[in-house]
Structure 1
Amino acid sequence: MSGLSFAFASPAILAALILLPAIWWLLRLTPPQPRAEVFPPLRILASILKREETPARSPWWLTLLRMLLAALVILAIANPMFNPRTNTLSSGGPLVLMIDNSWASTSDWDRRVRTTDALIDDADAKGIPVSIAFTAEQSNDATPSAATAARDKLHAMNPRPLVPDRQRAADAVKAALNGSKPGTIAFISDGIEAKEKDDIVSRLAALQPSELRLIEGNGNDILAITGASNNVNDMSVTATRLNGASPLHLQLTAQDNQGRPIAAGALNFASGQTVATGSITAPFEMRNDFARIGVDRYANAGTVHLLDDGFRRRRVALLSGQAADEFQPILSPLYYIQRALQPYADLIQPSSADLAKAIPQLLAGNPSMIIMADVGRLPQETYAPLQRWIQNGGTLIRFAGPRLAAAPADDPLVPVTLRQGERTFGGALSWAEPQPLADFPSFGPFAGMPKPTNVLIKRQVLAEPTPDLAERTWASLADGTPLVTEKQMQAGRVVLFHVSAEPQWSDLPISGDFVEMLRRIVQLSRSGGVNSAETAAKTAEAMPPYRLLTAKGVLTSEIGSARPLERSVKGAPAASFDNPPGLYGSEEGFTAVNVLGPGTALKPLDAAAGTVLREGLIGGEAWSAKPVLFTLAFLTLLADSLIVLFMNGVFSRFGRSAKTAAGGAAMLLLALSVATFLHPANALADDTKPGDDTIYSRLDKTHLAYVVTGESEVDRVSERGLAGLSDYLTYRTTLEPGPPVGLDPAKDELAFYPLIYWPISATAPMPSNDAINRIDAYMRNGGTVLFDTRDAINTMGDTSSPGPNGQRLQQILANLDIPALEPVPAGHVLTKSFYLLSSFPGRYADSPLWVEARQDSRRDSNAVASSDGVTPIMITGNDFAGAWAIDQNGSPLLPTVPPDETQREYAYRSGVNIMMYMLTGNYKSDQVHVGDILQRLGQ
């Protein structure tokens, strides 16, 4: 593949351009302009015979015009080609293709496939074996093989919602080559640095290929959401992009668990900015229902950020070891905790100061968390229920104080063993000064927070040193003394702040870091509270995959080879081959795994190492500029002729003004020709849209439409089949359809047609993403697509192993948002919309007709509101068009299997019922209840 976007098919012809100076000299002369002479004729004759005339010089602009004419002819014969391709693969070894099929390749995956297809075709033409590996696959068989096998692997592959593991793919290629040197290595990259100091280009260059090519897109559409934070007044969303050359304004949409948009916001990138933060403003109760945040007009896994229980509002119970002082509330141990957590949680307090009554009362309210401020010894009967509550998933936070310092050392609700008494800094008996905080460790909920600079600890309770004390410490002082410790108790945990909850022991409660620390611990707790030991057991176990994210940013229940997610408090879970992005857990509670972790910034891949040929993806098909150049040459010749006629006085009878108009017209014609040459794509592109006449013809009558597959025989049968059904509808019903219309879903307007018949063919080209997206929008807006695999004769009713057409249909439906399907049940509107039918045969009769599964109106009142009960999709294998197809004389085009004209009659009746169903919806279904309604009205 050539890196040039322009070339000449016959470059030798360009040598004729050196003759242009000679042509310039020859074109300098023109015949003299005729001159009017006064009668008599003898004087004219004498003048003509005696005068020796000298030719006049041609004007420079006319000579330039003729030079342009000669140059256009020479260039047209040389046949310039745009987007040319040349087979320049090295024959010194196999062609190695390493392809990034990551989340960032989703938007231009079709172009990547076309680019790779072109390289495989070049290798096939030269008989070069092909080794192919994909960087977002867990395993690769990169053994060099025939081009056909590589092409099959390519078309069976799809983008994955993962960051590429290029090292794994490079190792697979190296092992497959087994020491032999490759010819050409083509790395079709997404352009993103997969890790810090990504040296994949150097590793590929170390294989010593004859040439190394790096093929990338422009990166303008690559961006991702890397984090979301539920703040006091809004939800802040952080995003990063690869190309920050120009400003970018994005719309954010927040959706609930049902996929319904419930709030919107904005995110703006300034010029040169690659990381930006936007916001979605909504009430806290509404933000609690956010399930995912996406970027409008960008459909990939990177632009979707999944939210889990960590973003929901918790119920937090508060307990204090002393009564609140109503006259001096700032001295209360709970005052600062209440102010810190009030924006993030529902706070509840007991109605009794008796802990023996207060604790059971709080536990009955099923809180997510209990906070005890300076509570020392608890009533003995409360330890057992508190321990069960923690083990079932509850979170207990305790703050130190004089009472806790005097509590027994064997308290089971303390995460570490405490020394009796408290440690004082800066007192008369202490040599130590008040201590600041140390950096937070890389694990625990405080990971990533900056170290507080304005907090000093004056007093604390000390922990006895144990071997696992460092692992349980979430925060410590500058001298290494633990400040916040934690202990897991089955599904729950106990957390201890070794300082008090009021500012007597430290400055922590009056700092902003105190708010953030409490908020992060709250998010670790279960949002729905703790219900039972059974729920706790499920929570403590590894969480199975519940819903996984596709590369296009759609949640699906197909979990594939995903493994359960192991619980960890060491930061957010990272996506991997074993745990791809999605939701892990169950409907009762889940954890979200996103493509990119917090703080990630997209950086371009560094390809400075080694000699690398950089290329772009294939952008369009090659086309010749020869017709345009010949057209311009003809227009230039016409302009030259008009100018010569004008100069020779042909237009003199029209007066001086006419001469000026003719000259202006000639110059305007020349300017239009130059403009056409400067924009050849506009002259050649077939971007015309249906005019008013076409739209009126579609609106004037109902037309049956079919998808053009590109296979002449299939399209012919589809067209004749719909023509036969149109005739049958005209004869048997009041509907008189117009001629059938063939559609290209990627280009044509689909809204004119109530039903689109799509014959599936495994040998036809796979529809583009644009076509599938437009079909999806068509079905969402109330249209219906009838997919016909036409292979019932092959499957004979066995749907366990679909044939080639069925497999192609599965590939198409994998990219569509389709509802649950079922065979047409008894009593369905389709069975009685015009004729009474019990089956829906076509050319074959063994395949059922699949439609949208009916919803229970009591559970889903909106199930049929959008399309009047009409299914957006139908699937059959009975080859309806083959049974309906007629020739020009009205005779059947294809026989039924088995040959039976009664079956053909029922096939036509099936088509009539389908069309009546499309046009009337659930009208017939409503008529069933007329008798009951009239009876009730009579009563």
Structure 2
Amino acid sequence: MLSFGPLSLVAPWALLAAAILPLLWWLLRVTPPSPRVVRFPAIRLLFGLSSREQTPARTPLWLVLLRMLLALLVILAVAHPLINASRTKAAGGLLLIALDDGWAAARNWAARQTVLDALLDEAERAERPVAVLTTAAPVDGGPITPIGPLSARDARAAVQALAPKAWGTDRQSAAAALATLARPPAASVVWLSDGLDDPAAREFAARLQTYGRLRVFTEPPGALPRLLLPPAAGDSALAPMVRRAGTTGTETLWLKASDGSGRGLARTQVTLADGSSRATAKFDLPTELRNRVARIDVEGEETAAASVLVDERWRRRPVGLIGGDPETRATPLLSDLHYFAKALEPYAELREGSVAELLGRPLAVALLADASHLPASDVDRLREWIDEGGLLVRFAGPHLARSPDDLLPVRLRGGGRMLGGAMSWTEPMPLAPFPGSSPFAGLTPPAEVRVTAQVLAEPEIELDAKTWARLADGTPLVTAERRGKGWLVLMHTTASPQWSNVAMSGLFVDMLRRLVALSRGVAGDAGGGSLPPIEVMDGFGRLTSPLAGAGPIAAGAFAEIVPGPRHPPGFYGNDATRRALNLSPSVGELRPLAVPSGAERAVLSDVRQEIDLRPWLFAAALMLLAMDMAIGLRLRGLLWRGAATAAAAGLLIVLAPPAARAQTDDAFALAAALETRLAYVRTGDAAVDEMSRAGLDGLSRVIGQRSTAVLGEPVGVDVERDPLMFFPLLYWPVTASQPVPSPAAQAKLNDFLRNGGMILFDTGGRGERADPYQGGGVGAERLKQLTEGLVIPELGPVTSDHVLTRAFYLLRDLPGRYAGGTVWVERIESQANDGVSSVVIGPHQWAAAWAIDPQGRPMFAVVPGGEAQREMAFRFGVNLVMYALTGNYKADQVHLPAILERLGR
């Protein structure tokens, strides 16, 4: 192989044929073209003419050059030129390729495929046998076995079927598998590593070196995979940890939280400081939004260990606090509700109120303190709620001891049992160990925990099965009964220190957390059983259908399972129980791989895709041959002019590059349609366009934090080329330099407005009050020019009772960076688009007020009201988006006086 820079020739001897090109030139020049045949019957006219010697015509120079080029292309094609061909010296014998195909290889799998293709191309040209050894356990759970030796062509088919696994490598087993591969006398070894070290790496490299000279491909230091650890279950904040291999340099990563359908809910930034290998991120989400999170990913990583699946263990369940003695409200340390709140405040969303108020919203758990009496209506509501899947935990006390009701898991004896009473014990009673079938199994009762009073259960056949906790003398302390889809639980003592000191211990917190974990929609229950796979991850972190070898996991052993072929990471369980098995907790510390001595080190990214020019050269030669034939026929008069033109046109069509506009439009439409996004008009002014982008990005973040609306990243659009129908709201900053839309763009904008779209025109002034279409304000003339072809109805100022002032927040003013101007909307509500104004016009530079940088800091000052005015600007933005998305459903508030007047009639 002969190389010239990036160009290499597999058969350079073929260039010797270029020596005949001068002879070919001479032959083409001296050989005249074929005579042209003309049919002319009047031969008699030629009789008697004198004969003179004529010099034959030469072949035209341009035709000679065409044919010379044709011959040169054939010669070059035979020489087999390659771009980015491997420069390693061709060798004989076996080529052994060791490939790390665990989760860490997924991050740069395309580069590994490029190196594999280059190695197999080289082996195919040298006719070398190839053997491939993977280091991750196979999907079917069988042992690691080498592939081959095979021919390079057959090995290519086997390699193309490989994919990264969703678990780590097992280099120790791979090293043992080498014993099954015969050691040839001459071989070369290539190890495509994932760049990470482990205890078996040194032994594995030593085994490879026994087969021949070793070349190790690794990742550059900044390209090693990252690891995402799940947040601590039950923490008040959703705070996953990012780890990396090495500590050099400062690195900023983005994390994305998504729901079960893949829609983004929130993004947050995490920075790994120089000298540190880990950092913790934090998602600040309202409870309703946090409870929709199904996975968290490190953007740009796409590996199974850079994704965390989230189940109910990481969700803040809504817990209602009911009852309590009104006399203890002034002394919180004597109130049951105080101890509820202190125990669960870091782990759940606590709500306090009446039964009707609490059950009016979704509720997972209700904690009912000792109350004097529950109204029959409340008892009926609680029964219905339990049957539908709720979990009610009742606590005993003096009121329940005096007058038990029937909303209990067991029948109670009247009067209770207390220290010094008729049914007393001589000293406070400790707790017995929790039974294995109890939700409290695994907790250890502290020795200092004592109970001085309790309510007693009447003996019954099922009492033992209903008992989750006992005192040392065997009497029940916690009983429970399944009711419909839910649970009814009774704690036979108080939640305050009145009857025991359980509430003063950490055991109380752990017991309440276990009870909350039984609530509706929570993974896991009090029983055992197995959890079959629902969805499993592949090496790229994508959820797929369960593999054939994936098996169920025993519920009691779920926490000890290490992901592998038998149990890949993913979701396990059923409709009632859904548990997430993540890969990252089982991965140890990440360390860069140390290349062993005597081995050659190479970098994956340095290998470029090999390009074979031979097919292209042959194709070009074939086209030139077709052209030469068509020209020859034309010169001989055997091809009429129209056919020649058609042939040339067809050739140009074949050679013309494909149009990419349709692909670009499809990509734009796909990105815009998958998520709800706000859009802004690109004006051509880079500063204004960046302000618009940052402003809509900041507004989208605020809307995601304050409402259930989830918006994607804003999109800049060109009204001349881009489709607009995907966007509910178009922000249009008016500038002096932007061109007036063409008639086609005007028609597109009119169609957008007619079909429910909304445009916010921002003229950018400081206090315009005049009608923007009647003059009198800065930017009014330019706005009139830009919208000259748009169908805009009559406008009027936003009034105090307009829906825009109460779509989400109740507002009086609609400020932006500036305040004091007039905001204009359609004067008459349109019936076509749910009464929503298709146009909003104002002078307040809203995007500047909304704009925040990646660190969450405001980018522009707000005058004259400062940060309070910025907050009002954000509220206007939230109202505007809600108005555009939901229409005038809040209009009933505007017309409430008229509605009440009609009802009064």
What TM-score, normalized by structure 1, do the two folds share? 0.46
What TM-score, normalized by structure 2, do the two folds share? 0.47
